[in-house]
Every structure is written in structure tokens, then in C-alpha cells.
Amino acid sequence: MGAIGAAIAISAAACNNQTGFSGSVGNTPNGPKLPSFEILGTQGTPFTATLSDSRSSWTFQGNTPLAVFLCNNPSNAASLVATKTTSNNNLLSLEIISGNHISDLQSTNAPFGSATVQAAGGIGTISPQASPDLRIFLRGPFDEKYSALVEDIQTGFIINSRAPTLILFDTPNGKVDATFFGNQNFGVFSANMTLNGQVVINVSNGPNLTIRQP
């Protein structure tokens, strides 16, 4: 992890100039540490979910496990609700990990069961759909631990997690870049970026990968 941390430090330093690694990134100080919204349970259980903060919401489908990060101020209230799309008794579990502790945990085994977790007290109603709706999906390698730097032209966020991961950027200021750092024997990252439901770029590379909004 020391080598990965050094790589992030070098990349962050590169981003704090007028060229940046995207050619357009300006001064991007690191934002505060983000909570991780974890959708876990019986591996491969399909679900549909909505994550909403006080300003925007995102709806997505997937299979467990999936880590979700929302790039905004992590003190903001947010709620995640997920529903199984199968009639079996598989476990669906939602967690919010803040720092090194679980701040909320809810689970269901019920057929088509739902669970909800809340950060900073949650929100009363689901906010309007994000606009723009920019997402980065890291498909693999599966369950490999990585570190990443995700940023617009104003703020950078450092993420430590495992693939698969969905990264949502709330009202980005300018274009978004993300660099994922693996270790020497990590393998190949595979990621895509979507904007308003359309895939704008697919990238595969290793042990490090950079994906840039066109």
C-alpha cells in the first residue's frame, strides 16, 4: 500500500497545476473522505437500488457485491434503498462504512425484499434525477483492493475499495477524471464512464488505469 499511496501522491501533485493529467484540470485540493455504500449478501443476488442525497438521485441495477461512492460533501444526508429482484431467500445486506466503522446496517432475506440505510440522518423524499448524471463503473478485476483519485476541476476524492465499484459524481464542476492504482501483480482494470445513460468511454489497462470524460 505504500507504493500505491506514493502513486496517488504523485498523481495528486500532477493535478494541482494548470495542465493536470486530463489537460484541463486546475487546482484540485482533496475533498473529505467519502463513506462507502456497500450492497452485499449472497453473491450474485440481483437488485435494483436508488441512492439519493439532498440534491440528486441515481437509480441503478446490479448484482451483489457492489461498492458505491457518491462524490459530494460526505456530511450531506443521503439514503440508499435496494430491492431484490428475485423471489428466493438470498440475503441482501446494505452497509454504510464511514472511516473504519459501520454507521448503518440493514438486511433482508424476504422474496423481493427491500432494505434502506441512511447517512447523516437520511432524507425525507427522493431528490430529482441527477443532472448531469455522470457515473464511473469499475467492473474488475473482481474483489481486488485498489486506491483511486476521482476529480473534477475543483475537488479530488480519494477512494479505497474493491471492484466492482460504482462511482457517482454529484453536479461535477467541469469534466471528470479518475485514476485507479493497483499493485505490480494486480492485473487489468476494466472500467466505463456513462453520461446521462450513454456510455462515453470504455477503458482497460493495468496495473493502473486513467479514465477521462471526453
Which tens digits make up the pLDDT trace of 139-158?
A: 999 998 999 999 999 999 99
Residue 195 belongs to some domain of the structure: no
For the chain, the domain total comes to: 1
Residue 101 belongs to some domain of the structure: yes
Q: What is the pLDDT of residues 59-105, one digit of tens each?
A: 999 999 999 999 987 668 899 999 999 999 999 999 999 888 999 99
Look at residue 9 and give its three-state secondary structure. helix
Q: What is the pLDDT of residues 120-138, one digit of tens each?
A: 888 889 999 999 999 999 9
Look at residue 18 and give its three-state secondary structure. coil
Residue 52 belongs to some domain of the structure: yes
The pLDDT value recorded for residue 3 is 42
Least confident of 13-17, 64-68, 170-174: 13-17
Residue 198 belongs to some domain of the structure: no
Residue 74 belongs to some domain of the structure: yes
Residue 20 belongs to some domain of the structure: no
Average pLDDT over residues 11-27: 38
The pLDDT value recorded for residue 76 is 80
8 A C-beta contact, residue 143 and residue 162: yes
Domain that residue 80 falls in: 30-171
Residue 13 belongs to some domain of the structure: no
Residue 134 belongs to some domain of the structure: yes
Taking phi over 0 as left and psi of -120 to 50 as alpha, with beta for the rest, 112 belongs to: left
